[in-house]
Amino acid sequence: MLVALVKVLAVVRGRKRSGRRPGSPDTREEILDAARDAFAADGFERSSIRRIAAAAGVDPALIHHYFGTKDKLFLAAIEAPFDPGEMIPKVFKHGSTNLGEHLIRTFVGIWDSPTGNRAAAFLRSAVTHPRMSKLVQQFLTNQVIRKGLSQVNPELDNIDLRGAMVASQLLGLALTRYILKVQALVDLSADELAAIYGPTIDRYVTMDLKDLSTREGTQ
Amino acid sequence: MLVALVKVLAVVRGRKRSGRRPGSPDTREEILDAARDAFAADGFERSSIRRIAAAAGVDPALIHHYFGTKDKLFLAAIEAPFDPGEMIPKVFKHGSTNLGEHLIRTFVGIWDSPTGNRAAAFLRSAVTHPRMSKLVQQFLTNQVIRKGLSQVNPELDNIDLRGAMVASQLLGLALTRYILKVQALVDLSADELAAIYGPTIDRYVTMDLKDLSTREGTQ
C-alpha cells in the first residue's frame, strides 16, 4: 500500500517535473508499443524501462506503476496468454516423472479453456508480424524454455535446443488442432493427446545429443 | 498437342456460345477465388469445376484449359508450395525404411530452397485466414496424408490420425525454425534435424493406437 502510494507520488512528481504527457488511456498502449519496439530490436536483456519510457515520452515510474517489473511489462507487451512464472511450477510440481504427459495436459488445458482464444490470437500474431515473431521467440527461449528446463535438471546440456524441440511439437499441436482444426486431432481427449505426445516430449528432454553435435561439429 | 488444341477450341466455342467473359488476365484470379470459396465451403470432393465455372462466370472448358484437373486447380487455388503428386514418390522411393528421416530431409529441403519463401507465405496465410485454414486442412488430409501413408502400408489403421500427428511435428518444426527462427533450431543441419525428428515421425506412423482408442472409447 505504502509502496503503491510512493509510486503514484513519483508519477505525479515525474509529470510535473518533466512536463511529459499524463497517463491518458492511450498512454498505456503507447508504452506497450514502445516496449515491443525495444524488446524486438534489442532483446529482453538489453532493453531498459528507462529507455522504453523515453521512447514513449513518459516517466519510468509510470511504467513501474502500470506494469510492475520488466518481466511483467514484457508479458503485457506480447499479450502472453499465460504467465510462465505461474505456469511452470504447476507443470513441475510432480518433478520430472511423466514430465511430457504433465506438460501436454497443461498445454492442452490452456488451449481448451476460455484463454484458448487469446492463445490463438498470440500464435496468429507471432506468425504474421515479424516484430511479434522476434518477441515470441524471446518469450519461448528466455521465459519458458530456460526457466522450465532448468527445473527438470540444472545440469541438463543443450537447454536451448531441447526447449526448442519441445516447443516445435507443442506449437505444431496447437497449429494443427486449434488453428487448422484437423479433425482427427480435434477428436482426441487430453488423455489421448498426453499418451501420444508425452513420450515425444520426454525423449526431447532426455535424448543423448552428444552424438549429434560430434557428428556435425556444431554446438 | 492435339489435346491442347481441342481444349483451346472448346474454350473459344464456349466463349462464343455462352457470351461469357473472355480469358482476361483477371479471369484466372477470379477462377482461383471462386475455387477457394467452393473448396472451403463444400470440400474438395463435393466441389465441381462446373459450379466453380458458374460462380466465376466462365466456361468450364476455360478452367480445364488454364489448370487441367480439379487436383491441379486445388493446388493452384491454395498456392501449394509443392505438388504432393511429385513429392510423395520421392519420399517413399526407399520404401518405409527410415521413413521419418527421409520425410524430414525432404521437408527441410523444400523450406531451405528458394521455394521456402512460398512455403512460409502458405503457412502464414493458413494461420491468418479462416478460408485458407480450411483449404490447408483439406490439402494436408486428402492430398498429402492419405496419399502418402497409404504408400507406407495400405493396411495401416487410423491413417488420418497418424497423418495429423506427423503433420503436427512437421508444421511445428517449420513454425519454430523458419517463421519464429528459434536460433537453436536454425543452427542445425538437415542431418541433425533428421536424427532428432525422424524417430518421432516413425513412432507416429507405427505406434499402437488400439490401447488409446479402447481406453477412451473413441475412433
> Which pLDDT value is given to residue A86?
84
Q: Which contacts (CB < 8 Å, 24+ apart) does range A38-43 have?
A: A39/A74, A39/A77, A39/A78, A39/A134, A39/A135, A39/A138, A40/A131, A40/A132, A40/A134, A40/A135, A43/A138
Distance of CA A48 to the CA centre of its chain: 18
Considering the segment(s) A2-75 as one domain, its CATH architecture is: Orthogonal Bundle (1.10)
Distance of CA A126 to the CA centre of its chain: 11
Q: Are B215 and A196 a contacting pair at CB < 8 A?
A: no
pLDDT in tens, B129-158: 888 998 988 888 888 888 888 887 888 899
Q: Are B137 and A165 a contacting pair at CB < 8 A?
A: no
> Residue type at B218?
T
Report yes or no: B140 at the A interface, CB cutoff 8 Å.
yes
Instruction: Name every chain B residue with its beta carbon within 8 A of the beta carbon of A200.
Output: 169, 200, 203
pLDDT in tens, B154-181: 888 999 999 999 999 999 999 999 999 9
Closest CA–CA distance from residue A97 to any residue of chain B (Å)? 20
The mean pLDDT value of chain A amounts to 85
CATH number given to B84-216: 1.10.357.10
Q: Using alpha carbons, select from B138, B193, B135 the residue that is nearest to residue B163.
A: B138
**CB interface of B with A, residues 36-65, below 8 Å:** none
Question: What DSSP string runs through B158-202?
Answer: SHHHHHHHHHHHHHHHHIIIIIS--HHHHT--HHHHHHHHHHHHH
Nearest to A127 among B127, B163, B189 (CB): B127
H helices of B113-145, in order, are 116-128, 130-138
Instruction: Name every chain A residue with its beta carbon within 8 A of the beta carbon of B78.
Output: none
Q: Are B200 and A126 a contacting pair at CB < 8 A?
A: no
Burial class of residue A118 (count of CB atoms within 10 Å of its CB; 0-12, 13-18, 19+):
middle
Q: How confident is the model at residue B219 (pLDDT cuts 50, 70, 90)?
A: very low
Cell 498429402, residue? B144
pLDDT in tens, B5-38: 445 444 444 444 444 455 566 899 999 999 999 9
Closest CA–CA distance from residue B4 to any residue of chain A (Å)? 37
Nearest to B195 among A158, A176, A212 (CB): A212
pLDDT tens string, chain A, 219 residues long: the values are 455 544 544 444 444 444 445 556 689 999 999 999 999 999 888 999 999 999 999 999 999 999 999 989 999 998 888 888 888 888 888 777 889 999 999 999 999 999 899 899 999 999 988 889 989 888 888 888 888 888 878 888 999 999 999 999 999 999 999 999 999 999 999 999 999 999 999 999 999 998 775 444 443
Residue B117 is placed in which grid cell? Answer: 519463401
Instruction: Name every chain B residue with its beta carbon within 8 A of the beta carbon of A192.
Output: 212, 215-216, 218
- Asked whether the domain spanning B84-216 has the same topology as the one spanning B2-77, the reply is no
Helix (H, G, I), strand (E, B) or coil at B104: helix
Q: Are A169 and B200 a contacting pair at CB < 8 A?
A: yes
Q: Is the ipTM of this complex over 0.85?
A: no
| Domain assignments of chain A as residue spans, ordered by start | 2-75, 84-216
Q: Are B212 and A195 a contacting pair at CB < 8 A?
A: yes
Question: Which of B136, B144, B169, B176 is the best substitution to test chain A (most A C-beta atoms within 10 A)?
Answer: B176
The mean pLDDT value of chain B amounts to 85
Report yes or no: B187 at the A interface, CB cutoff 8 Å.
yes
Tell me phi and psi for residue B69, to 5 degrees.
Answer: -80, 170
Cβ within 8 Å of residue A214, ≥6 positions away: none
Nearest to A127 among B124, B161, B200 (CB): B124
Instruction: Name every chain A residue with its beta carbon within 8 A of the beta carbon of B128.
Output: 124, 127-128
pLDDT in tens, A154-197: 888 999 999 999 999 999 999 999 999 999 999 999 999 999 99
Assign domain B2-77 to a CATH class: mainly alpha
Cell 507443470, residue? A91
